[in-house]
């Protein structure tokens, strides 16, 4: 860099209050040396004024008072053609205020100072910046009102001032700049009305005014212009009144409309059913009346539908059938009628809340088809009849509230299959019979108010099931008869249920569980048979040697026998399309991961053994090594893998606490590892993964990435594979062409890899993104932000905070690479080879893996 220049300028202090004399001196001096500054003196002065305003000297230490190195070494400053074009200091702990002198940086296109503690008002001079495209000042402590002249900066595209302390009305004209596409003023203290002139904008895509004190009616001239880009409109948490404008229905690009927590009244207009791209509709907590237009439930793209806490009436229409719905919240209205059987067609439903209405009739058995359902809230209606056995099929369920209805009969034992249930309430119904022995130990208040229940105190004792019980009707004879009369009894009941329900319940126990009951030499076991998973064939196989099954080891560090394997302590780690994975601790303390393959999906034994033999030989530092397989006497199939102590990337990335950082360095390492593992599969093994996601990229103790679940499709029957393809839980990672072709390719793997990379860069999970605000998937969202040259906004704040310019460059390059990988056209995506090469260009030091992988076996050559 310009060392001479630095020397030259060293002696020149720029004091705060310079005398006329020194100012003149400096001016002459500068005119001599101006050619050696990166940018004009005016810009240097402006930047230094900004620095003084922020009073955060350590962060801006590189902003040298000498004015040297603005473009090359000043943190957060980027130049183009000798002028400052971007100022980006998000999350740097800046305080103070933003100096008006920022208006002298006339080449500025982007200002990104969000997530700081900047106070004072929004500088009026910003409105005079001729090239400003993006202004991101969100999450600061800005006060005062929004400068009216911001609408004069004709290049402005994105204005994000959310979560500040801004007051006053929203000035007219903010949406005038012809390419303005995002305005977010949410989370301030703005009052006054909705800015009526915004509906005239043909460029605005996203408007967020939520969480302010805005009032008055919403404009109803949305048909004033023909073409509109509006996709997101959020006016939630304000004081808007009047009705929902029917003309909103003509804004057919709209994907998200949120107006919860206002005072809107009148009917939900029929016109809204024209919004055939609408994904999110949130009208909760208003004063809406009348029927819900029945076609709203069947909008082709709708995923989130929330009209709870209004005064709506009428039934749920039987045409209900938008399989896209994930959330349906109708609670606290006056809705009535029965719930149509067709509800079982909402196969993506995750949350159904229809409590506090007047629904009646019985609960349709089709509800059991909703296998993704996590929340089923039916409280305070007039449902009657049995609790259908099929509710036990809702194995994802976390909360089930049926309280304050008229359900009768016993609770079905199938409810014991709901191992994820943490909240349960059936109080105040007309239920009877024994309370099932839930391992979760729900509070007594969850069962109160049912005159017929029996069980442990405070409920009356159940009649002993072995004794004939004349008072019980024969129809009840097969369920609800397990006695629950004492704590001791409760345990033995658990044992009975084990045998009856097999695997489902056993997963909960961390006791010494065998994978299957195999008692090879019963004399060894001192006569105590271990408890087991599979009830099948246990009695008959006691003595026969050959019933132990076949255990085949591949190269690896651990040696164990079938006995050791089967009697390891097991804990469920997770489930995938292929089966359930357990963490198993062997007697000698070594830990392995065991995958129990689902029944009925695996090829015959001969074929299986030849395929699994190939998989067992495959060794690469970034592939999870298959160490052994076991084929049991009753055709149970177990695969044994190395255990990865840091779990999956998905869990690590999204479920860790703030005290567990995931630095950019580590993310790069994981990216490279995953790329190499996948590249090896593609190039050296000719294997397509077909199901790559952050869930099956595992991390060892040193944060090395290991791809799992590869090649398993070879073990499956073709029929099973076509079934799995249709249901596999890779939503969000699946390349768009797979919806049609159903046949994974290298290029669809590359797509999945691109999504994983985006996940690492943005810190956002792909599904989280699609079900929330923007209604876009992760790839769409990132590309839309990048298209607007607003790239640095997509990165995870955790990695952008304190990142060096060099690291930011790397992130930028990785982002570009990820976007190529997720190109909607498969042919435009690179091969994994190219991806690896590009990653190596971005970070040459990742070229060779620094750690030698002793545990990965000898076959690590590439
Ligand atoms: C600022 O510039 C002066 C003179 O060129 C130099 O001595 C000093 O080390 C610089 N400070 C920083 C933080 O770069
Ligand atoms: C339950 O049914 C009884 C008898 O049909 C009725 O009187 C009562 O109002 C119902 N309760 C509820 C909450 O619907
Ligand atoms: C649903 O539950 C019923 C009764 O409990 C059972 O017969 C049926 O096989 C289950 N269906 C599925 C898909 O699990
Ligand atoms: C409660 O259920 C029993 C049958 O289990 C029925 O005879 C009785 O009428 C029900 N009571 C109410 C209030 O619905
Ligand atoms: C169950 O619901 C009843 C009635 O709404 C309530 O009083 C009770 O606290 C609830 N119990 C639990 C465990 O949620």
Query: How is 163-221 classified by DSSP, letter by letter?
Result: SS--EEPPPTTTT-STT--EEE--SSEEEE---GGGGG-SS--EEE--SSEEEEEPP--
End of a domain among 134, 163, 192? 192
Among 594, 610, 642, residue at a domain's last position? 642
In a domain, 251, yes or no: no
Residues 678 and 578 in one domain: no
Q: Computed over its alpha carbons, how large is the radius of gyration of the chain?
A: 32
Could you tell me if 400 and 486 lie in one domain? yes
Give the number of C-alpha atoms closer than 13 A to the C-alpha of residue 513, restricted to the C-beta side. 21
> Could you give the number of structural domains in the chain?
5
Give Dmax (Cα) for the chain. 111
Give the pocket of ligand 5 (CB within 6 Å).
403-404, 425, 427-428, 443, 445-446
Rounded CA gap, 614 and 267, in Å? 64
In a domain? residue 404: yes
Closest CA to 335 of 369, 295, 382: 382
> What does the alpha-carbon distance between residue 62 and residue 538 come to, in Å, rounded to a whole number?
73
Taking only the tens place, the pLDDT of each residue in 202-253 is: 999 999 999 999 999 999 989 888 888 899 999 999 999 999 999 999 998 8
Determine the Cα–Cα distance for residues 352 and 226; give it in Å rounded to an integer.
Answer: 37
786 is in which domain, residue-wise? Answer: 651-852
Both 673 and 580 in a single domain?
no
- Please tell me the residue having the least CA distance from ligand 5 atom 12: 446
Pairing of strands 423-425, 452-454: unpaired
Query: Which ligand places an atom closest to the C-alpha of 442?
Result: 5
DSSP secondary structure code for residue 67 in this structure? -
Same domain for 742 and 808?
Answer: yes
Distance 430 CA to ligand 4 centre (A): 6
- SS3 state at 370: coil
Question: How many angstroms does the Cα of residue 801 sit away from the middle of ligand 1?
Answer: 24
What is the mean pLDDT of each successive set of 10 residues along the chain, which is 862 residues long? 34 34 37 60 94 86 87 86 88 92 92 93 94 93 94 90 96 91 95 93 93 96 87 96 94 93 96 93 97 90 94 90 85 95 90 96 93 94 95 93 95 91 94 88 90 82 50 29 30 36 36 37 33 33 56 83 80 77 84 85 85 89 91 84 88 80 89 94 89 90 90 80 57 80 87 92 72 61 68 77 78 90 91 92 72 36 31
Distance CA 682, CA 725 (A): 19
Q: Which helix (H) or strand (E) holds 755?
A: helix 746-762
Q: What residues flank ligand 1, with Cβ below 6 Å?
A: 6, 9-10, 61-62, 64, 66, 68
Task: Check if 408 has its Cβ closer than 6 Å to any atom of ligand 4.
Answer: yes
Q: Are residues 517 and 469 in the same domain?
A: no
Atom of ligand 5 nearest to the CA of 403: 2
Residue closest via CA to ligand 1's atom 11 equals 64
Query: Going by CA atoms, what residue is nearest to atom 14 of ligand 3?
Result: 393
Q: Is residue 834 part of a domain?
A: yes
Are both 692 and 714 inside the same structural domain? yes
Domain contains 281: no
Closest of 668, 622, 666, 663 to residue 840, by C-alpha: 668
Are residues 100 and 147 part of one domain? yes
The answer to whether position 245 is within a domain reads no
Mutate to test the pocket of ligand 5, among 380, 403, 438, 458 (most ligand atoms within 8 A of CB): 403
CATH number of the domain to which 780 belongs: 1.10.510.10
Say how far apart CA 844 and CA 659 lie, in whole Å: 30
Among 6, 14, 63, name the best residue to mutate to test ligand 1's pocket (greatest count of ligand atoms within 8 A of Cβ): 6
pLDDT in tens, 423-458: 999 999 999 988 888 888 888 899 999 988 888 777
Contact 83, 70 (CB under 8 A): no
Instruction: Mark whether 716 and 589 lie in a shared domain.
Output: no
Model pTM? Answer: 0.65
Residue 67 sits in the same domain as residue 108? yes
Based on the fold, state whether residues 657 and 765 are members of the same structural domain.
yes
Give the atom of ligand 3 at the shortest distance from the alpha carbon of 389: 5
Q: Is residue 181 domain-resident?
A: yes
Do 321 and 446 share a domain, yes or no? Answer: yes
- The protein residue with its alpha carbon nearest to ligand 4, atom 1, reads 430
Phi and psi angles of residue 31, each rounded to the nearest 5 degrees, phi first: -60, -25
Q: Domain boundary residue among 590, 622, 642?
A: 642
One-character DSSP codes across 509-558: --S--BSS---S-TTTTTT-PPPBS--TTTTTTSS-GGGG-EEEE-SSS-
CATH no. for residue 142? 3.80.10.10
- Give the closest residue to 397 by CA, choosing from 352, 364, 346: 352
Q: Is residue 859 part of a domain?
A: no
User: 94 C-alpha vs ligand 2 centroid, how far in Å?
Assistant: 62
Residues 473 and 351 in one domain: yes
Residue 14, in any domain of the structure: no
Q: Cβ–Cβ contacts within 10 Å for residue 768, how many?
A: 12
Give the β-pairing of 579-585 and 591-597. antiparallel
Report pLDDT digits (tens) over 744-775: 889 999 999 999 999 899 888 886 544 444 45
- Counting atoms of ligand 1 from 1, which one is nearest the CA of 64? 1
Quote the ligand 2 centre to 352 CA distance (angstroms): 23
Hey, is 751 helix, strand or coil?
helix
């Amino acid at each position: 860099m310009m060392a001479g220049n630095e020397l030259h300028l060293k002696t020149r202090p720029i004091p705060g209050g310079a005398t006329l004399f020194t100012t003149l001196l400096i001016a002459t001096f500068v005119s001599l040396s101006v050619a050696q500054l990166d940018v004009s003196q005016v810009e240097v002065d402006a930047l230094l004024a900004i620095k003084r305003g922020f009073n955060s000297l350590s962060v801006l230490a590189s902003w040298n008072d000498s004015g040297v190195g603005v473009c090359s070494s000043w943190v957060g400053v980027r130049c183009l053609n000798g002028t400052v074009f971007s100022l980006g200091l998000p999350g740097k702990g800046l305080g103070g205020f933003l100096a008006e002198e920022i208006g002298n940086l006339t080449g500025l296109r982007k200002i990104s100072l969000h997530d700081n503690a900047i106070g004072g008002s929004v500088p009026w001079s910003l409105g005079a910046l001729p090239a400003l495209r993006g202004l991101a000042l969100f999450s600061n402590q800005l006060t005062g009102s929004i400068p009216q002249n911001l609408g004069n900066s004709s290049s402005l595209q994105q204005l994000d001032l959310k979560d500040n302390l801004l007051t006053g009305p929203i000035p007219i004209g903010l949406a005038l700049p012809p390419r303005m596409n995002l305005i977010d003023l949410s989370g301030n203290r703005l009052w006054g009305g909705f800015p009526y002139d915004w509906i005239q904008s043909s460029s605005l895509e996203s408007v967020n005014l939520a969480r302010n004190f805005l009032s008055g009616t919403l404009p109803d001239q949305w048909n004033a212009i023909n073409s509109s880009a509006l996709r997101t409109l959020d006016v939630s948490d304000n004081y808007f009144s009047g009705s929902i404008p029917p003309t909103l229905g003509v804004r057919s690009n709209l994907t998200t409309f949120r107006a919860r927590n206002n005072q809107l009244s009148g009917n939900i207009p029929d016109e809204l059913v024209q919004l055939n791209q609408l994904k999110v509709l949130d009208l909760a907590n208003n004063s809406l009346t009348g029927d819900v237009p029945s076609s709203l439930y069947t909008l082709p793209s709708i995923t989130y539908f929330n009209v709870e806490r209004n005064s709506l009436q009428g039934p749920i229409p039987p045409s209900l059938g938008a399989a896209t719905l994930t959330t349906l919240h109708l609670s606290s209205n006056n809705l009535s009628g029965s719930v149509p059987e067709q509800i079982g067609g909402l196969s993506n439903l995750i949350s159904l809340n229809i409590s506090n209405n007047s629904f009646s009739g019985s609960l349709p058995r089709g509800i059991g088809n909703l296998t993704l359902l996590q929340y089923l809230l039916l409280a305070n209606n007039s449902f009657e009849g049995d609790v259908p056995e099929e509710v036990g099929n809702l194995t994802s369920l976390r909360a089930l509230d049926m309280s304050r209805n008229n359900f009768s009969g016993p609770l079905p034992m199938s409810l014991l299959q709901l191992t994820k249930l943490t909240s349960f309430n059936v109080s105040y119904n007309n239920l009877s019979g024994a309370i099932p022995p839930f391992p979760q130990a729900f509070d007594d208040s969850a069962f109160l108010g049912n005159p017929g229940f029996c069980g442990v105190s405070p409920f009356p004792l159940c009649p002993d099931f072995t004794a004939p019980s004349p008072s019980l009707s024969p129809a009840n004879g097969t369920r609800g008869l397990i006695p629950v009369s004492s704590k001791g009894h409760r345990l033995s009941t658990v044992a009975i249920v084990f045998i009856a329900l097999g695997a489902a319940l056993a997963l909960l126990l961390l006791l010494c569980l065998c994978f299957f009951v195999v008692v090879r030499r019963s004399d060894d076991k001192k006569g105590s048979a271990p408890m087991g998973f599979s009830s099948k064939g246990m009695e008959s196989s006691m003595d026969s040697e050959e019933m132990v099954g076949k255990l085949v080891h591949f190269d690896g560090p651990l040696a164990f026998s079938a006995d050791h394997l089967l009697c390891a302590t097991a804990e469920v780690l997770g489930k995938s399309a292929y089966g359930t994975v357990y963490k198993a601790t062997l007697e000698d303390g070594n830990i392995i991961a065991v995958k129990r393959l689902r029944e009925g999906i695996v090829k015959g034994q001969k074929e299986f053994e030849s395929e699994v033999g190939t998989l067992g030989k495959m060794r690469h530092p970034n592939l999870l090594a298959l160490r052994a397989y076991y084929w049991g006497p009753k055709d149970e199939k177990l695969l044994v893998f190395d255990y990865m102590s840091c779990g999956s990337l998905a869990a690590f990335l999204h479920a860790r606490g703030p005290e567990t950082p995931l630095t950019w360095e580590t993310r790069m390492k994981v990216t490279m590892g995953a790329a190499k593992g996948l590249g090896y599969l593609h190039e050296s093994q000719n294997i397509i993964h077909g199901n790559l996601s952050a869930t099956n990229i595992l991390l060892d103790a040193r944060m090395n990435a290991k791809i799992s679940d590869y090649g398993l499709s070879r073990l499956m029957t073709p029929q099973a594979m076509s079934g799995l393809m249709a249901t596999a839980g890779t939503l969000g990672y699946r390349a768009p062409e797979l919806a049609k072709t159903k046949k994974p390719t290298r290029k669809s793997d590359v797509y999945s890899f691109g999504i994983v990379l985006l996940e690492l860069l943005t810190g956002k999970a792909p599904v989280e993104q699609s079900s929330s605000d923007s209604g876009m998937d992760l790839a769409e969202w990132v590309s839309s932000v990048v298209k607007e040259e607003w790239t640095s906004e997509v990165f995870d704040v955790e990695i952008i905070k304190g990142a060096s310019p060099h690291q930011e460059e790397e992130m930028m390059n990785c982002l570009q690479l990820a976007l190529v990988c997720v190109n909607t056209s498969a042919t435009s995506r690179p091969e994994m080879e190219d991806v690896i090469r590009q990653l190596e260009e971005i970070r040459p030091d990742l070229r060779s893996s620094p750690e030698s992988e002793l545990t990965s076996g000898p076959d690590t050559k590439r």
